[in-house]
Chain A
């Protein structure tokens, strides 16, 4: 069987910071850690892609998602599924020759030349992302970096830090940053029968429609530090598959002992809620405004601090039901008129 060709970067090997907008690794930090590892082949500050290419790769996959091509290669074939399993976005296999970003995973003990004191290694292009003995931590690093890369690099898409669920053909977007309680609300919506879209990003296309970005639900334990990952299906919920128009924007965050007392905001304020949590609005402000306007113009916008998630979701679901009833009755009224 012919050996598949290895990955080549579509941008011709420009640095990550040039292509993705991600901050470059601080000078010295990488160098120091590599020198400590005492790995002859990885001695340069960045392990060049050519050197990584020369290693023996037992499994590789090339994927397309949100217009980006990403390559994943592993030194031991049994790890490939584990990496592919945590990719949240819907992806398609692509031709392996040229990719925008390649992840290289070197399993502990896979190669005598790169065995770093029994640690696993993960690279994004030529930049080392992690060296750890904990495979789970490594996979999380991979997932986190990939998500950030997609969200910050995908052209013609806007990513808003938000939880998203689908409700009767409409998306409910809960924009907010870490620790604002998005995931708890998303879980509660799923219990109420909503479809899962994301607990991390709302991926909006140029028409203002939301696409699924269904990463594993990340649930913090009561200590606030440790997290567990679960699938929406484990909660008996479905995961959304297609794009949805935005039906509701919930601009909220958790506060202990607070109660959900929503007030309706204008569409313009809804656009601000999206902008306040958008990843690349600063680099494409005109496009961001246009996209978010298309999303918010059809949506209701509710704003309140919240306490108990169940109380909030029950109230929102009732509100949504009333909206559906109103729109159905107005549609039938207009049909009668015509």
Chain B
């Protein structure tokens, strides 16, 4: 992870949050999207307060989990959170590290850590939920990052 990324301070978007066992359920009121974050993604997201640097997030998660956390895992989590629209772009210009994601995955492949997973659905309007045409039925509106 480069210095520029380590010094960035990602900020999570305002949303309704509920914790269910090891998962975080997040409802984005502006986008009307609901997300299910697994523990790793949820912990990273909760630490994104716009003040804590990525380096600090890596350190804190290492403390919480009582083992060192690979920076690549955090990088991947931030990338997925950014893709799901759960992180605001901060003043320091934090951007998702999509170009390096493959590299991150390669690094993580040897690690035994749980990978961050973010599942997203678009919450339908009442009319959409009541009925959809045959053409639309194969797209239940679920997208997924991770596994």
**Interface, chain A (partner B; CB < 8 A):** 21, 23, 148, 151-152, 160-161, 176-180, 253, 266-269, 271-272, 275-282, 285-286, 289-290, 293, 296-297
Q: Indicate if B3 sits at the interface (CB-CB under 8 A).
A: no
In the complex the two chains form, is B134's CB within 8 Å of A279's CB? no
A303 to chain B, nearest CB (A): 10
Q: What residues of A have a CB within 8 angstroms of the CB of B55 in the complex?
A: none
Contacts A/B (CB < 8 Å), 14 sampled: A177-B136, A177-B137, A179-B132, A179-B137, A253-B137, A267-B20, A267-B23, A268-B24, A268-B25, A276-B121, A276-B124, A281-B124, A286-B27, A289-B18
Q: Indicate if B34 sits at the interface (CB-CB under 8 A).
A: yes
Query: Chain B's interface: helix, strand, loop or mixed, by majority?
Result: mixed
Q: What residues of B have a CB within 8 angstroms of the CB of A279 in the complex?
A: 126, 129-130
In the complex the two chains form, is B140's CB within 8 Å of A253's CB? yes
Could you list 15 further interchain pairs (A-B, Cβ under 8 angstroms) beyond the known A266-B21, A289-B27? A21-B126, A151-B126, A152-B126, A177-B132, A269-B36, A272-B34, A272-B36, A272-B119, A276-B123, A277-B124, A277-B129, A282-B126, A289-B16, A289-B18, A293-B20
In the complex the two chains form, is B131's CB within 8 Å of A178's CB? yes
In the complex the two chains form, is A268's CB within 8 Å of B127's CB? no
B138 to chain A, nearest CB (A): 7
Q: What residues of A have a CB within 8 angstroms of the CB of B25 in the complex?
A: 268, 271-272, 289, 293
Q: What residues of B have a CB within 8 angstroms of the CB of A281 in the complex?
A: 34, 123-124
Please report the total number of B residues contacting A with Cβ < 8 Å.
Answer: 34
Q: Indicate if B125 sits at the interface (CB-CB under 8 A).
A: yes
Of chain B, the residue at the smallest CB distance from A303 is: B142
Q: How far is B28's CA from A282's CA once the two chains are assembled, in angstroms?
A: 10
A-B contact count (CB 8 A): 103
Of chain B, the residue at the smallest CB distance from A294 is: B20
Q: What residues of A have a CB within 8 angstroms of the CB of B121 in the complex?
A: 272, 275-276
Q: What residues of B have a CB within 8 angstroms of the CB of A272 in the complex?
A: 25, 34, 36, 119, 121, 142
Of chain B, the residue at the smallest CB distance from A161 is: B129
In the complex the two chains form, is A151's CB within 8 Å of B142's CB? no
Q: How far is B129's CA from A15's CA once the two chains are assembled, in angstroms?
A: 23
Give the residue of A21, A152, A253, A297 whose beta carbon is less than 8 angstroms from that of B20. A297
In the complex the two chains form, is A293's CB within 8 Å of B18's CB? yes
Q: How far is B34's CA from A290's CA once the two chains are assembled, in angstroms?
A: 13
Q: Indicate if B141 sits at the interface (CB-CB under 8 A).
A: yes
A225 to chain B, nearest CB (A): 11
Give the residue of B23, B29, B127 whose beta carbon is less than 8 angstroms from that of A266. B23
Of chain B, the residue at the smallest CB distance from A305 is: B138
Q: How far is B115's CA from A11's CA once the two chains are assembled, in angstroms?
A: 52
Top 6 nearest A-B pairs by Cβ distance? A268-B23, A268-B36, A177-B132, A276-B121, A279-B126, A178-B131
Q: How far is B133's CA from A178's CA once the two chains are assembled, in angstroms?
A: 7
Q: Indicate if B100 sits at the interface (CB-CB under 8 A).
A: no
In the complex the two chains form, is A280's CB within 8 Å of B124's CB? no
Q: What residues of B have a CB within 8 angstroms of the CB of A177 in the complex?
A: 129, 131-132, 136-137, 140
B123 to chain A, nearest CB (A): 5
Q: What residues of A have a CB within 8 angstroms of the CB of B18 in the complex?
A: 289-290, 293
Q: How far is B121's CA from A180's CA once the two chains are assembled, in angstroms?
A: 17
Q: How far is B123's CA from A160's CA once the two chains are assembled, in angstroms?
A: 12
